[in-house]
Amino acid sequence: MKIVLAYSGGLDTTVAIRWLKETFNANVITVTVDVGQKDNFDDIEKRAYIAGAEKHYTIDAKKEFAEKFIAYAVKMNALYEDVYPLATALARPLIAQKVVEIARKENADTIAHGSTSKGNDQVRFDLAVKALYPEARIIAPARIWKMTRETELEYAKQKGIPVKSESSKYSIDENLWGRSIEGDIISDPSVEVPEDAFEWTKRKSTEKIKLTVEFERGVPVAINNEKMELVKLIQVLNEVAGSRGFGRVEHLENRVVGFKSREVYEAPAALVLIYSHKDLEKSTYSPLELRFKKIIDAQWSDLVYEGLWYEPLRETLELAGDNLNKWVSGEVQVEIEGSGMRILGRKPKYSPFSDKIASYNKGWYPTDEMAKGFIEIFGMHSLLTREVRSE
């Protein structure tokens, strides 16, 4: 039996290598997908072999993650329950896709991942594998074994398996688009998240910073007039905005699996880009388009959160999103100061805004007659309804 394991290099998946090997008498092939997490991939590979992997792959998927997943997250203003930029959720279908590719190449009929039975990630992972490799058997060791963190550490020690030395007390998931932090004392939603939970958003400077973000067809292409590939642009923004302390999010989140959970995130670039993009959209669209876009944005975000990346509706939502975003080009100026971000101004390329029409000082003015007639007819529904209800 051959098993391909989605391997993060953390405690759970490292223990899983040996556990799978022994429980199923299997050959285990590990796949680590680089989606921008700040890890040492050589160390991860070494750990995989010491734990018992037969073969290991490291796949750099940063560019694909940015261009095929994050670009849509920006176009669709993806914020689950209005706050969470979906970093973890977005990367899961891509990781699953890479693991499936290796499984097919290696003729392996079984795929394994480290998710537990309480999280959303198992749903995202299982559903993506089912869509891409329906014949595959899926094993999630952490759903089967009854080990706590302590027993896992004990197991690792017993078997001589190395664990990541600077292992955090929190459960961390990280990629280009954000860092998710769960567990330990922050599971209690009334507790203020302690500083030691944060890594990307430590305030290194109190100086305000002004940035110009340029978009082309809804996708960010330059910062301060410097054109950059999307991966680079996100890395630069995470660094710059994060160093001011900007980018923290925490809320009591409604998970797919039926309960609420305290979730904490750091996502400086994601928030700067989504807030700026939303402003540019508002400056560009007709009011009807703007209202419609809010609905499809929320649908897209929910579907991604829920692990339904392969739900056919996604394509339809994206087609509509692309069609609207064709006109979302131009610049947005923002200021970041500590944990806050302000929009200072914008220069949309295709805006129906007209100074001549909007200004109080010049140009076009409706006549008194036009204004009166408009107001009378505009308010008629409300006034007539009110009238029949007055007793």
Q: Note the residues at the interface with ligand ARG (CB under 6 A).
A: 88-89, 120-121, 171, 173, 180, 182, 253, 263
144-151 long-range contacts, CB within 8 A, separation 24+? 145/19, 147/15, 149/11
Catalytic pick from 115, 171, 283, 329?
171
Q: Does the annotation list 77 as a binding residue?
A: no
Q: Tell me how far, at minimum, the Cβ of 270 lies from ligand ARG, in Å.
A: 13
C-alpha 289/C-alpha 303 separation (Å) is: 21
Task: Return the SS3 of 90.
Answer: helix
Q: Does the annotation list 12 as a binding residue?
A: yes
Q: Tell me how far, at minimum, the Cβ of 4 lies from ligand ARG, in Å.
A: 19
Closest to ligand ARG by CB, 120 or 329: 120
**79 in Cβ contact with 278 (< 8 Å):** no
| CA dihedral for 168, 169, 173, 178, sign (positive or negative) | negative
Closest to ligand ARG by CB, 112 or 328: 112
C-alpha 99/C-alpha 122 separation (Å) is: 14
Q: Does the annotation list 170 as a binding residue?
A: no
Asked about 39 being catalytic, the answer comes back as no
Asked about 314 being catalytic, the answer comes back as no
**109 in Cβ contact with 2 (< 8 Å):** yes
In sequence order, what are the residues at sequence separation of 6 or more whose Cβ sits closer than 8 angstroms to the Cβ of residue 199? 179, 266
Q: Does the annotation list 115 as a binding residue?
A: no
The number of residues in the chain equals 391
Q: Tell me how far, at minimum, the Cβ of 218 lies from ligand ARG, in Å.
A: 23
Q: Does the annotation list 114 as a binding residue?
A: yes
Residue with the two structure tokens 């649908």: 299
Residue with the two structure tokens 């004392």: 185
C-alpha 388/C-alpha 391 separation (Å) is: 8
C-alpha 244/C-alpha 102 separation (Å) is: 40
Q: Does the annotation list 116 as a binding residue?
A: yes
- Give me the residues paired with residue 58 across strands: 32
Q: Which conformational region is residue 330 in: left (phi greater than 0), alpha (psi within -120 to 50 degrees), or beta?
A: left
| CA dihedral for 129, 131, 136, 138, sign (positive or negative) | positive
Asked about 92 being catalytic, the answer comes back as yes
C-alpha 144/C-alpha 287 separation (Å) is: 51
Q: Tell me how far, at minimum, the Cβ of 186 lies from ligand ARG, in Å.
A: 12
Q: Does the annotation list 10 as a binding residue?
A: yes
Rounded-to-10 torsion of CA 34, 249, 126, 43: 30
- Give me the residues paired with residue 179 across strands: 174, 266
Q: Tell me how far, at minimum, the Cβ of 86 lies from ligand ARG, in Å.
A: 7
Closest to ligand ARG by CB, 101 or 184: 184
Q: Does the annotation list 8 as a binding residue?
A: yes
Asked about 121 being catalytic, the answer comes back as yes
Q: Tell me how far, at minimum, the Cβ of 183 lies from ligand ARG, in Å.
A: 8
Q: Tell me how far, at minimum, the Cβ of 132 lies from ligand ARG, in Å.
A: 20
Closest to ligand ARG by CB, 179 or 277: 179
For the chain, the maximum distance between any two Cα atoms, rounded to a whole number of angstroms, is 88
Catalytic pick from 18, 47, 115, 121?
121
C-alpha 53/C-alpha 129 separation (Å) is: 21
Closest to ligand ARG by CB, 182 or 281: 182
Catalytic pick from 47, 92, 179, 248?
92
Q: Does the annotation list 283 as a binding residue?
A: no
**48 in Cβ contact with 213 (< 8 Å):** no
Which segments are annotated as binding site for L-aspartate? Answer: 116, 120-121
Which segments are annotated as binding site for L-citrulline? Answer: 84, 120, 124, 171, 180, 253, 265
Active site residues: 12, 92, 121, 171
Which segments are annotated as binding site? Answer: 6-14, 84, 114, 116, 120-121, 124, 171, 180, 253, 265
